[in-house]
Amino acid sequence: MTHRFSAPYILDPKNQLERLILDHRQGRIDERIFHKRLVDRTVYVATDDLEEAERTTGFKPVILVREDREYVAVFSMMDRTETLVREGGGSVQMLVRQLLDRVPPGIGIVLNPNYEAAVEIPPEKVEALREVVRARDQKTR
């Protein structure tokens, strides 16, 4: 299902990922550092059909649209998904690096949609995140 998104909620940081988001949004860390720190964080992928997501691949995400671009909706805390998902929905927990394996080309990611401190990662930046993961994985071999 596709939704539009806006930003009516204030983000009061409750965990390390939310502090990372705010540091990036407020210019305290640049995009490169943000990406490096983001890939190993846990996120909650919103789904309108939790039962179906758990029964299949675990990836039936809510897709949001802004300015004709599609984004997978992910959140920094499971409780935050309640601003978006409908009855019967929920979230699937995974690391950002796992999420990157599942996001199709041409789709972006939005962290904490409907919050004023949301981070939109357009499709071309999703590819940059994949490069961070590949580089890190090569170093550990």
Compute the distance between CA of residue 111 and CA of residue 81 in angstroms, rounded to an integer.
11
Residue 92's domain comprises 2-139
Count of structural domains within the chain = 1
Whether pLDDT at 8 is above 90: no
Compute the distance between CA of residue 60 and CA of residue 125 in angstroms, rounded to an integer.
22
Compute the distance between CA of residue 58 and CA of residue 40 in angstroms, rounded to an integer.
19
Average pLDDT score over the chain:
85
pLDDT in tens, 97-134: 999 999 999 999 999 988 877 899 999 999 999 999 99
